[in-house]
């Protein structure tokens, strides 16, 4: 059994409440940090842990914290990114729903480390049940003396607020999130300046993912070095993976980084193989924006080595034969799924979510969607495949924020690995129109939320 650090108590009845969470050892990291560690000590432990941001980019959390500017007399902010709108990703929602105090505890420890006295959890606007769960958890933590003035008599003050998001995927991009939090339209900002220098209200700000913040709890409890013992290379600790698509047991799993992808898919401890005894065709390993890989490349690298659930191993081979860990949204496609239809579906999403500030993204996503629609509906030509390739190349790297790349990569990878399917659609126009296409279901299979 793999070690669990975040979901250890997930099955304890009533763990959503403060009293049960506390009984299970909750809030020890706050006691420890505020009573016996300086903010710098906390940052140091997070650096030692090797924790990398769990929101998608995998940037080292301790390093990000150490970049935070500390001008005299200027407030600093910690903002938790709980916007989670990437298709296929539902792990933060799971954590917030079932163990909300793990996030609140992480927010207190992390805010203390950064010298923030006002912190925010920016939650995707559609997640009203989670917003209420978090608000209740904050009230409980405050009543217990873990929030507010002079926490545990340490002299440290912290107010924590939940902000419902603006209802757009782009509001998960950190600078768009800050704009939205300031009450404006969620348009990404041009960087630099980075949020560590000029973030919320122009003040130094750290934006971290829910899981990154929750991971600081075991790091402080057990020490950064202990945390770093789990995993391989620069992929330390555990990671939440939301597994969806055609898996026998879709759900949210906490894995030790370094687990072989094959074991994750086929072992009974995790996904239990492909549903209905079908064969695996392809996997999107880290949410809809990362390159799709065919079955032979997701379980083994091009060198024939076992592919592991690490940032490095998933990326092995670059975009020719590798992919990315991304946000941990693992979508499996069985042999009946149509790659063209899925690519069209993803692209439709990005076209809809483009904020429209930059032409390559605004025009390119719409153009790709139209071409994919034509191919999917039996109206494509062979030239369309090259056209698609050309459009995605012109979007990638030419936009203000990474949504442009996120829209380009799935199209590029689908053509790279499944060109024959695009050609089949073009050569079998009538059949393509009549066929009952497969579209893997990759929404949260556990979306039954109960507020206790």
Ligand X SMILES: Cc1cc2nc3c(=O)[nH]c(=O)nc-3n(C[C@H](O)[C@H](O)[C@H](O)COP(=O)(O)O)c2cc1C
Which residues within the stretch 200-229 sit at the binding site for ligand X (CB under 6 A)?
207-209, 212
Q: What do you get for the CA distance between the two ends of the chain, in Å?
A: 29
Q: Which is nearer to ligand X, 337 or 354 (CB)?
A: 354
Q: Which is nearer to ligand X, 85 or 365 (CB)?
A: 85
Give residue 237's region: left, alpha or beta (phi > 0; psi -120 to 50).
left
Asked if 396 interacts with ligand X (CB under 6 A), we say no
Name the DSSP class of 121. Answer: E
Q: Which is nearer to ligand X, 250 or 287 (CB)?
A: 287
Residue 207 contact among ligand SF4, ligand X, none, beta carbon within 5 to 8 Å by kind: ligand X
CB of 100 to ligand SF4, least distance (A): 30
Q: Which is nearer to ligand SF4, 17 or 357 (CB)?
A: 357
Please answer whether residues 289 and 330 qualify as being in contact, where contact means their C-beta atoms are separated by less than 8 angstroms.
no
Residue 399 contact among ligand X, ligand SF4, none, beta carbon within 5 to 8 Å by kind: ligand SF4
| Tokens of residue 175, six digits | 């600078």
CA distances from 329 to 167, 251, 369 (A): 20, 10, 22
What is the CB-side half-sphere exposure of residue 411 using CA atoms within 13 A?
36
Residue 45 contact among ligand SF4, ligand X, none, beta carbon within 5 to 8 Å by kind: none
Asked if 54 interacts with ligand X (CB under 6 A), we say yes
Query: How many Å apart are CA 84 and CA 181, to the nearest integer?
Result: 15
CB of 328 to ligand X, least distance (A): 10
Q: For residue 97, how far is the Cα from the chain centroid?
A: 16
Peptide bond into 377 cis (omega under 30): no
Asked if 99 interacts with ligand X (CB under 6 A), we say no
Identify the sign of the CA torsion 115, 163, 442, 344.
Answer: negative
Asked if 55 interacts with ligand X (CB under 6 A), we say yes
Asked if 444 interacts with ligand X (CB under 6 A), we say no
Count of residues near ligand X by CB under 6 A: 25
- For ligand X, the binding residue among 7, 9, 47, 83 (CB under 6 A) is 83
Strand 238-245 relative to strand 251-256: parallel, antiparallel, unpaired?
antiparallel
Q: For residue 409, how far is the Cα from the chain centroid?
A: 17
Residue nearest to ligand SF4 (CB): 361
Which residues within the stretch 136-155 sit at the binding site for ligand X (CB under 6 A)?
none
Residue 16 contact among ligand SF4, ligand X, none, beta carbon within 5 to 8 Å by kind: none
Please answer whether residues 89 and 328 qualify as being in contact, where contact means their C-beta atoms are separated by less than 8 angstroms.
yes
Residue 355 contact among ligand SF4, ligand X, none, beta carbon within 5 to 8 Å by kind: ligand SF4
Q: Which is nearer to ligand SF4, 186 or 329 (CB)?
A: 186
Peptide bond into 193 cis (omega under 30): yes
Asked if 388 interacts with ligand X (CB under 6 A), we say no
Please answer whether residues 258 and 378 qualify as being in contact, where contact means their C-beta atoms are separated by less than 8 angstroms.
no
State which H helix or E strand residue 251 sits in. Answer: strand 251-256
Query: How many Å apart are CA 279 and CA 345, to the nearest integer?
Result: 22
Asked if 410 interacts with ligand X (CB under 6 A), we say no
Asked if 402 interacts with ligand X (CB under 6 A), we say yes
Query: How many Å apart are CA 413 and CA 332, to the nearest integer?
Result: 15
| Tokens of residue 403, six digits | 């949504």
Q: Which is nearer to ligand X, 92 or 140 (CB)?
A: 92
Q: Which is nearer to ligand X, 45 or 173 (CB)?
A: 173
CB of 406 to ligand SF4, least distance (A): 9
CB of 395 to ligand SF4, least distance (A): 8
Residue 323 contact among ligand X, ligand SF4, none, beta carbon within 5 to 8 Å by kind: none
Query: How many Å apart are CA 369 and CA 350, to the nearest integer?
Result: 9
φ and ψ at 255, to 5 degrees? -115, 155
CB of 88 to ligand X, least distance (A): 12
| Part in contact with ligand X (CB under 6 A); list of ranges 166-174, 225-233, 278-286, 354-362 | 166-174
Kindly give the interhelix angle for 339-353 and 403-427, rounded to the nearest 10 degrees. Answer: 150
Residue 209 contact among ligand SF4, ligand X, none, beta carbon within 5 to 8 Å by kind: ligand X
Binding positions for ligand SF4, rule: CB under 6 A = 170, 188, 354-358, 361-362, 399-401, 403-404
What is the binding site for ligand X (CB under 6 A)? 53-57, 59, 64, 81, 83-86, 169-170, 172-174, 207-209, 212, 401-403, 406
């Amino acid at each position: 059994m793999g070690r669990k650090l975040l979901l250890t108590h997930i099955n304890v009845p009533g763990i959503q409440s403060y009293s049960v969470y506390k009984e299970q050892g909750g809030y020890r990291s706050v006691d420890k940090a505020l009573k016996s560690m300086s903010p710098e000590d906390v940052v140091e432990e997070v650096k030692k842990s090797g924790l990398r941001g769990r929101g998608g980019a995998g940037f080292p959390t301790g390093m990000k914290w150490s970049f935070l500017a500390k001008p005299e007399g200027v407030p600093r902010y910690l903002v938790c990114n709980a916007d989670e709108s990437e298709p296929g990703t539902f792990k933060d929602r799971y954590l917030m729903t079932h163990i909300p105090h793990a996030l609140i505890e992480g927010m207190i420890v992390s805010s203390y480390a950064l010298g923030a006295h006002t912190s925010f959890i920016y939650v995707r606007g559609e997640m009203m049940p989670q917003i209420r769960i978090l608000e209740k958890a904050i009230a409980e933590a405050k009543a217990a003396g873990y929030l507010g003035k002079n926490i545990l008599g340490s002299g440290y003050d912290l107010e924590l607020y939940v902000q419902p998001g603006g209802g757009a995927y782009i509001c998960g991009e950190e600078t768009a999130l800050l704009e939205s939090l300031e009450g404006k339209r969620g348009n990404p900002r041009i960087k630099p300046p980075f949020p560590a220098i000029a973030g919320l209200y122009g003040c130094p700000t750290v934006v971290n993912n829910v899981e990154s913040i929750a991971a600081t709890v075991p790091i402080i409890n057990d020490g950064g070095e202990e945390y770093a013992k789990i995993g391989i290379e620069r992929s330390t600790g555990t990671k939440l993976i939301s597994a969806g698509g055609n898996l026998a047991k879709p759900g949210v799993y906490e894995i030790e980084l370094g687990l072989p992808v094959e074991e994750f898919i086929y072992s009974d401890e995790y996904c239990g193989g492909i549903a209905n005894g079908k064969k695996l065709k392809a996997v999107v390993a880290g949410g809809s924006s990362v390159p799709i890989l065919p079955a032979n490349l997701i379980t083994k690298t091009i060198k024939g080595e076992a592919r592991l659930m690490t940032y490095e191993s998933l990326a092995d081979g670059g975009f020719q034969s590798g992919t990315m860990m991304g946000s941990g949204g693992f979508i499996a496609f069985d042999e009946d799924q149509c790659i063209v239809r899925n690519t069209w579906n993803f692209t439709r999403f990005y076209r809809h979510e483009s904020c429209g500030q930059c032409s390559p993204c605004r025009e390119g996503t719409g153009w790709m969607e139209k071409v994919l629609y034509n191919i999917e509906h039996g109206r494509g030509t062979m030239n369309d495949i090259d056209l698609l390739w050309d459009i995605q190349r012109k979007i990638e790297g030419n936009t203000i924020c990474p949504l442009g790349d996120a829209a380009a990569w799935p199209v590029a990878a689908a053509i790279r690995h499944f060109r024959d399917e695009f050609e089949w659609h073009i050569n079998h126009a009538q059949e393509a129109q009549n066929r009952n296409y497969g579209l893997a279901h990759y929404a949260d299979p556990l979306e039954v939320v109960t507020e206790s």
